[in-house]
Chains A and B, each alone.
Chain A
Amino acid sequence: MSLRVLVGVKRVIDYAVKIRVRPDKLGVVTDGVKHSMNPFDEIAIEEAVRLKEKKIAKEVVAVSCGPTQAQETIRTALAMGADRGIHVEIPAKEVERLEPIHVAKIMAKLVELEKADLVVLGKQAIDDDANATAQMTAALLDWPQATFASKIEKTDGELTVVREIDGGLESIKVKLPAVISADLRLNEPRYATLPNIMKAKKKKIAKMKASDLGVDTTPHYDVVEVNEPPVREAGIKVENVDTLVEKLKEGGLV
């Protein structure tokens, strides 16, 4: 089994940044703000690279749909062990309006062009929390999907995937080719090493536009308003457990 794995990596605002809503209330401030690879995508790349090290995969291709700076994100993936990258250039103004369905269509087309056998994506991006791209990609390709993966094992021509679901853990078998979305506990991403960062410079990143892949990135919905969350109010102290239960009941919480 020697799979070609496509991994999606998204450039998002770094998790540690204090987010501010833009004055026009249609989005958040991104100018000059620190960005990095979506943490779940780091986990996805790590898993793909481990599959290569176990000789289950033969090639890992990192894909990013985004502005020019998305190349930095692809370079990070290359430094972690991906073999080459594909940058689908989305003009900076349109990046915010790019939807999971657009990305899914792009991924599906790339799967076809690259003859990929496995797609691994992060379960969701930490900016929009959409949690839709993996599922849509699988549907477009008519491939099985194993989402919220916390463990992946190869068994014969199939993958056994343990999924994190509301009730606990679910184990499923999927036939290849398939789409997987990575959850938090799938692995702990490695640090890139300095030699790998230097080698990453020489790895190839192919550039293309969404239109080259026949994908129309016209938005399907408009953002009406973006607001900060309500300011957290002070709580109250209660004397004993009985009063606590009373208050919880009052608030309709139990």
Chain B
Amino acid sequence: MLSLSCGIHKVGNGLSRVMCILEPCVTKLGVTGVTASHRRYVTSLNPSHGLTEEQTAIHQLATDFAAKEMLPNMALWDEKELFPVDTMRAAAALGFGAIYASEEYGGTGLSRLDASIIFEALSKGCTSTTAYISIHNMCAWMIDHFGNASQKEQWIPQLAAMEKFASYCLTEPGAGSDAASLSTAAKRDGADLVLNGSKAFISGGGDTDVYLVMCRTGGPGPKGISCVLVEKGTPGLNFGKKERKVGWNSQPTRMVIFEDCRIPATNILGSEGQGFSIAMKGLNGGRINIASCSLGAAQASLEAAVDYVKVRKQFSKPLASFQNTQFRLAEMGTEVVASRLLVRNAARALQDDHPDTVPLCSMAKYFVTERCFQVINEALQLHGGYGYLKDYPVQQYLRDSRVHMILEGTNEVMRLLIARHILSEWK
């Protein structure tokens, strides 16, 4: 049979389809008789359920962008370790650069829940790149929330458009979970601060333009820490070698080294001694964002696994007909819905400044990053040997989401924060 010209395929009685060659597998999870009113309140396997009309449009935009602009490049960016500046700028042009920074200086002015929906959707296209975009967003918000008018005027428009990129510098070689013990020092010298010390594992480090650096301006402990802005090109700002990582390869990670790095004291964000609080408030949102990235990766992996087990046959039957496969998928689906509920709930708590915000964000972060990693791991197993090949995306979602259990506060620290809250309630 001679084939039809590429472009339009005729399928079925009068139903034509414009076929995209690199179209990802689309499964119809959650396709039942769902009425419009159910969609408004119920969270389900379909991430677009439980959303308002505006959120539905936002979700659709992020999903389309991820499918067309990110997914076809995901493997390449990982293999070649490319920082996809152009694609991120295209995302920023749509408003994804400073999603929850206020509109006053050029942010998009959306809510934490909107941001969660966006990052979940973008993660299906490339989890690593989306994670960096979320870090950039966190930095933009910190400047927007704590900065003075001149700092906001200078940075927000550029960060919103991703003309300039940002990095968050808290962790040091000697200070990880014990972040408050950081030792990068910022000594007063006239109208300047002189920085000495080094930061470790900085996402974007060396390629980004502005660094939000938590440094010690005062005495020991959290109260002696300030947050300062350091621009790339400042003398004394140096970078270590690019780290070779298991995942997150579409973003460079480097040590950031300060050697008598001189900045004007007006680069302090907020007030002196406020730095640790600023860092932690930034991370509350960052934790929701990272959890959302894990969720998107898990959703993509689950959908890929469902498609695969329907097609792959062994012992003359599709894998989907075996009870074990069905039970695994059931468990995976349940974990995904539970994760979605927890993350969206935490986003609402943060937005509304709920008193339980910190424990709720911590719960969402540890639960979702852990459970979703397991979902992705199961999805890889369901693919059998093929799951281990880089021809299939599940291994990349796995490698990219593994680090989510470690950064933005280890899941162990998350447990500490939750326990502290629980134990304090009954005082």
- Chain A interface residues toward B at CB < 8 A: 15-19, 21, 28, 31-34, 36, 39, 68-69, 72, 75-76, 79, 124, 126-129, 184, 191-195, 197-198, 200-201, 226-229, 235, 253
Contact = CB atoms under 8 A, between A and B. Distances in A.
A68 B37 CA distance: 12
Contact of A192 (B33, B61, B110): B61
Nearest to B48: A34
Contacts of B11: 19, 229
B57 A200 contact: yes
Which has the most chain B C-beta neighbours within 10 Å: A32, A36, A194, A201?
Answer: A194
Contacts of A19: 11-12, 15
Nearest to A223: B13
Contacts of B26: 16-18
A90 to B, nearest CB: 16
Which has the most chain A C-beta neighbours within 10 Å: B57, B93, B96, B108? B57
A75 B28 contact: no
A32 to B, nearest CB: 5
Contacts of B17: 15, 126
B34 interface: yes
Contacts of A128: 14
Interface in B9-24: 11-18, 23
Contacts of A194: 58, 61, 94-96, 99, 108, 110
B331 interface: no
A31 B34 CA distance: 7
Contact of B1 (A18, A34, A235): A235
Interface of B: 1-2, 7, 11-18, 23, 26, 28, 31-34, 36, 53-54, 56-58, 60-61, 64-65, 93-96, 99, 108-110
Contacts of B36: 68-69
Given A32-B31, A197-B57, A201-B54, A184 B18 contact: yes
Contacts of B34: 32
B27 to A, nearest CB: 9
Contacts of B28: 17-18, 33-34
8 contacts: A16-B23, A16-B26, A18-B26, A191-B64, A192-B61, A194-B95, A198-B54, A235-B1
A193 B53 CA distance: 15
B14 A76 contact: no
Contacts of B53: 72, 75, 201
A229 to B, nearest CB: 5
Contacts of A34: 28, 31
B58 A31 contact: no
B318 to A, nearest CB: 16
Contact of A32 (B33, B108, B110): B33
Contacts of A195: 95, 108
Contacts of A75: 53, 57
A94 B16 CA distance: 22
A21 B14 CA distance: 12
B93 A197 contact: no
B409 to A, nearest CB: 28
A218 B245 CA distance: 65
Nearest to A127: B15
A17 B11 CA distance: 12
A197 B61 contact: yes
Complex A-B, nearest 7 residue pairs according to Cβ-Cβ distance, in ascending order:
A194-B95, A16-B26, A193-B94, A129-B14, A197-B57, A32-B34, A194-B108
Contacts of B1: 235
Contacts of B65: 191
Nearest to A124: B16
Contacts of A17: 26, 28
B7 A197 contact: no
Nearest to B64: A191
Max chain B CB contacts within 10 Å: which of A16, A126, A184? A16
Contacts of B94: 191-194
Nearest to A36: B60
B18 A126 contact: yes
